[in-house]
Structure 1
Amino acid sequence: MMDISSTMKEEKPPNLNDRIAQRVRDLRAARGLSLDALAAHCGVSRSMISLIERGESSPTAVLLERLATGLSVPLASLFDAPEPAAEPVARLADQPAWRDPHSGYVRRNVSPAGVASPIQIVEVSFPPGARVAYETGAREPQIHQQVWVLEGAIEVALGDERHRLGAGDCLAMLLDRPMSYHNPTRKVARYAVVIATLPASRR
């Protein structure tokens, strides 16, 4: 049986920063936002956004989440391939893994990129003691998320709510408030994140 956790310990593949750069450029252009306008929307400086769009920065997960909020997309969308997938299957070897330079957590986009689906799946390997806090705000369209712990334990804070999750536990949430993840244990935690974008007409 394949050891999925071991594959997630690999460093990010070459040119992943270039993929993020193009996705940010394309999403910003699709929304008709200037660098200054996006900076005002997400609270990231114009110069930093410019560096990211040129692939000259290694942004943290927190910074990328702020960009994603400003662009009204899930964080996972910033790692999508710029071109639609040739087939609706994402092979393990082609699923991009990215390591947060601040916390050391590794996230892997499991879902095929470019497929017309409102659902995305991400797998995360969270180091012992790691903590990541996101300044998530309300988005249009609404983004729903479920966190399913596969191994270990994590603590999730959503606004004033606190949830401790063990292996097998699943938490459903709406991305509309500040949130944080923490691994309070001495072992690596592994969890899946299922993200769904809900159009206004479906509410």
Structure 2
Amino acid sequence: MNVSARETLPEEETFGQRLKAKRKARNLTLTELATRSSVSASTISKIENGGVSPTYDVILRLAAGLSIPVSAMFGETIPESNEGPRPTGWQVVGRPDEYDLLDTKNYEHRYLCSSLKTKRLLPVLVRIKAGSIAEFGELVRHDGEEFIYVLRGTVELHSEFYATVVLNVGEYAYLDSTMGHAYVSGSDEDAEILCICAGQVSFESDDKTVI
């Protein structure tokens, strides 16, 4: 399967447009990506056309189906170079308005350092919109681990195996992301956290089934 060195995208592409470009660059049909990612073809089509916003778990599965790091779902494609090996040292500096926005029912995600495609950590500023666990719905689970630090408001951390914990500004938590969990605002206004996710989706056999 040939992947072009450069994927042509609009300057202000949406997440769905980026997903579609990456799928087409790999010559995958909706059905083929659905098989690889365990996400239905109809859901992928809706995401590509802006009809729905994917959860983080779905993003992980799509990245697995495309055989790319999850950070590449938010980063710019870096053309391959024939100028020899790249330097091993690097850094990325960000500005307040430099992020990729993904808005879902419970969270507004602002993915940081999106120009760096192959980072091992995924830093995200998250605005928490749900005001109760009943409003949030089912707990979420995904591969990896995550660290959160409360920047604004009060956050209720609900998890599968622990009692609910209330976190105030300056307090933090580190958890196994495969455990069911949810962040709910305990303030009158939306709370905000810095969330750093680590870990990639694992693969099983040649069909890239998500474990």
TM over 0.5: yes
Q: Over residues 104-124 of structure 1, what are the superposed CA-to-partner deviations in whole Å (9 max), with x where a residue is unaligned?
A: x32111224335431221101
1:59 aligned residue: 52
Change (3 A) 1:47 1:127: closer
Alpha-carbon distance in 2 for matches of 1:169, 1:178: 21
Alpha-carbon distance in 1 for matches of 2:24, 2:171: 36
Identity value in percent: 16
1:35 aligned residue: 33
2:206 aligned residue: none
1:18 aligned residue: 17
Question: Are residues 1:135 and 2:140 paired?
Answer: yes
SS in 2 for 1:34: helix
Question: Are residues 1:90 and 2:83 paired?
Answer: no
User: When the two structures are aligned, how many residues end up with a matched partner?
Assistant: 173
| Structure 1 runs not aligned, ≥5 long | 1-12
Structure 2 length-normalised TM: 0.63
Q: Over residues 60-90 of structure 1, what are the superposed CA-to-partner deviations in whole Å (9 max), with x where a residue is unaligned?
A: 343x5234246459x9737512413997333
Q: Over residues 151-179 of structure 1, what are the superposed CA-to-partner deviations in whole Å (9 max), with x where a residue is unaligned?
A: 11111222222322111111001211222
Deviating runs (4+, > 2 A) in structure 1? 19-23, 25-30, 33-36, 57-62, 64-67, 69-73, 75-79, 84-94, 111-117, 130-135, 196-200
1:88 touches 1:115 (CA, 8 Å); kept in 2? no
Tell me the CA shift for residue 147 of structure 1.
0.7
Larger Rg, first or second structure (1 or 2): 2
Alpha-carbon distance in 2 for matches of 1:170, 1:123: 14
SS in 1 for 2:127: strand
| Structure 2 runs not aligned, ≥5 long | 1-10, 80-89, 203-211
Letter in 2 for 1:153: T
1:183 aligned residue: 185
Which residue of 51, 72, 77 maps to 2:71?
77
Structure 1 length-normalised TM: 0.65
**Higher share of residues assigned helix:** 1
Alpha-carbon distance in 1 for matches of 2:200, 2:32: 26
1:146 aligned residue: 147
Change (3 A) 1:98 1:67: closer
Letter in 2 for 1:170: Y
Alpha-carbon distance in 1 for matches of 2:71, 2:127: 18
Root-mean-square deviation over aligned CA pairs: 3.8
Tell me the CA shift for residue 47 of structure 1.
1.7
Alpha-carbon distance in 1 for matches of 2:153, 2:33: 41
The 5-angstrom pairing of residues 93-172 of structure 1 reads: 93-100=97-104, 102-103=105-106, 105-127=107-129, 129=131, 131=136, 133-137=138-142, 139=143, 143-161=144-162, 162-172=164-174
1:118 touches 1:196 (CA, 8 Å); kept in 2? yes
2:123 touches 2:197 (CA, 8 Å); kept in 1? yes
Alpha-carbon distance in 2 for matches of 1:163, 1:27: 44
Tell me the CA shift for residue 144 of structure 1.
1.8
Tell me the CA shift for residue 192 of structure 1.
0.2
Alpha-carbon distance in 1 for matches of 2:177, 2:26: 21
